[in-house]
C-alpha cells in the first residue's frame, strides 16, 4: 500500500480515534530533539500537521510556545480541546502550504511528526526555512511499522490477505529490518539547499494489541480509511479470526521512528 498525497484529508475522519489508537512517541526522542537543537522554553515553535496534538502536548508541557497548523477541522478541534490549558499554544486550521504567518514572525524550531510526507515537496523546505530564525532548526519524524529480526509471524500471514484483496505491500516481503532502512528525509534535507543535517536518531519499540485495539489502529491509517468497504470488512474479519486462534488473542507490532534534524 503506497502513500498518495491526495489521501492526506482522510485522517480527519479518524479524529476521535487517533490520539488513543496511535502510539506515543518515545520520551528519548524529545530529549534528543532538544539536545540536538538546543532549543529551550519559552522558545516559540511551529508544528506542521499537529493532528489531535500527539506531539504538541509533550512539548507544551515542557513550557514551549507552539503555533500548530492542522489541515483537518475535526483534528484541529481535538487538538484545541487537549491543549486548552496551555496559554502559549494555538491551533490553526489550515494547510501548511496556504497558511501565512504574521509579518516578521519567526520560529526557533519548525517540526512535523508523521506529517511531513503529506506536505507539497515544492513548498515545504523553502517555506520552513523562511519561517525560521537564523540558525533555527527543522525536525521531522515518523512512526512506522517495523519488522525487525524475529517479528511477529502474524504479519506475514495477514500479508497474504492484503495481496488477495489487491492491497499488498509494495516490493519484496518482508521489507528490510529497521536498521537497514534508508533515511530519505535526510537526503531531502541536504538536497533542498536550505538545511544542513545535524543529527539523526532511530527508535524501535514494540506494543501488544488485541484484535479490537489493532483494528482501531488500522482505522487511523489513510489506506485503510480509503479502502473499499468490502475489502476492509474481509481483511478485518481475517484479523479477528487469526488472533482468536492465539492463546492470548494478541499480536506484537514493532514501531520505528527516525528523527531527522536540519539547521537552516
Largest CA distance in the chain: 60
Residue 1 pLDDT? 35
Average of per-residue pLDDT values in the chain: 94
**pLDDT tens sequence across 22-72:** 999 999 999 999 999 999 999 999 999 999 999 999 999 999 999 999 999
Domains of the chain (ranges; CATH) run 5-145+177-206+255-263 (3.40.50.150)
- Which set of grid coordinates corresponds to residue 2? 503506497
Phi-psi region of 14 (alpha: psi -120 to 50; beta: other; left: phi over 0): alpha
Q: Which pTM does this prediction carry?
A: 0.93
* Predicted confidence (pLDDT) at residue 228 exceeds the cutoff of 60: yes
Q: DSSP letters along the chain, please?
A: ----GGGGGGGGGGHHHHHHHSPPPPHHHHHHHHHHH---TT-EEEEES-TTTTTHHHHHHTT-EEEEEES-HHHHHHHHHHTTT-TTEEEEES-TTT--PPTT--EEEEEEES-GGGS-TTTHHHHHHHHEEEEEEEEEE--EEE--TT--THHHHHHHHHHHTT-PPSSSSSPPPGGG---HHHHHHHHHSS-EEEEEEEEEEEEEEEHHHHHHHHTTSHHHHSS-HHHHHHHHHHHHHHHHTSSS-EEEEEEEEEEEEEE-
**pLDDT tens sequence across 71-105:** 999 999 999 999 999 999 999 999 999 999 999 99
| Cα dihedral 153→22→13→113 (10° resolution) | -110
**pLDDT tens sequence across 100-138:** 999 999 999 999 999 999 999 999 999 999 999 999 999
Residue 11 pLDDT? 75
Amino acid at each position: 500500500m503506497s502513500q498518495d498525497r491526495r489521501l492526506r484529508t482522510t485522517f480527519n475522519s479518524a479524529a476521535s480515534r487517533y490520539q488513543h489508537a496511535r502510539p506515543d512517541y518515545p520520551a528519548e526522542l524529545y530529549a534528543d530533539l532538544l539536545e540536538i537543537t538546543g532549543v529551550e522554553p519559552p522558545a516559540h515553535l511551529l508544528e506542521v500537521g499537529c493532528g489531535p496534538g500527539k506531539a504538541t502536548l509533550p512539548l507544551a508541557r515542557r513550557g514551549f510556545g507552539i503555533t500548530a497548523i492542522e489541515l483537518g477541522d475535526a483534528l484541529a478541534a481535538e487538538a484545541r480541546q487537549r491543549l486548552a490549558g496551555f496559554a502559549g499554544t494555538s491551533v490553526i486550521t489550515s494547510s501548511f502550504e496556504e497558511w501565512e504567518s504574521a509579518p516578521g514572525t519567526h520560529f526557533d524550531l519548525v517540526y512535523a511528526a508523521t506529517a511531513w510526507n503529506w506536505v507539497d515537496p515544492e513548498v515545504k523546505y523553502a517555506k520552513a526555512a523562511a519561517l525560521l530564525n537564523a540558525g533555527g532548526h527543522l525536525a521531522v519524524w515518523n512512526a512506522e511499522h517495523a519488522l525487525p529480526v524475529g517479528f511477529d509471524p502474524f504479519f506475514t500471514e495477514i500479508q497474504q490477505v492484503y495481496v488477495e484483496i489487491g492491497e499488498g505491500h509494495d516490493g519484496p516481503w518482508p521489507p528490510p529490518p529497521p536498521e537497514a532502512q534508508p533515511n530519505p528525509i535526510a537526503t531531502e534535507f541536504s538536497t533542498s539547499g536550505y538545511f544542513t543535517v545535524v543529527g539523526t536518531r532511530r527508535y524501535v519499540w514494540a506494543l501488544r494489541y488485541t484484535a479490537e485495539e489493532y483494528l482501531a489502529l488500522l482505522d487511523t491509517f489513510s489506506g485503510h480509511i480509503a479502502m473499499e468497504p468490502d475489502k476492509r470488512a474481509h481483511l478485518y474479519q481475517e484479523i479477528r479470526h487469526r488472533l482468536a486462534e492465539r492463546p492470548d488473542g494478541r499480536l506484537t507490532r514493532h514501531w520505528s521512528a527516525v528523527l531527522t534534524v536540519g539547521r537552516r
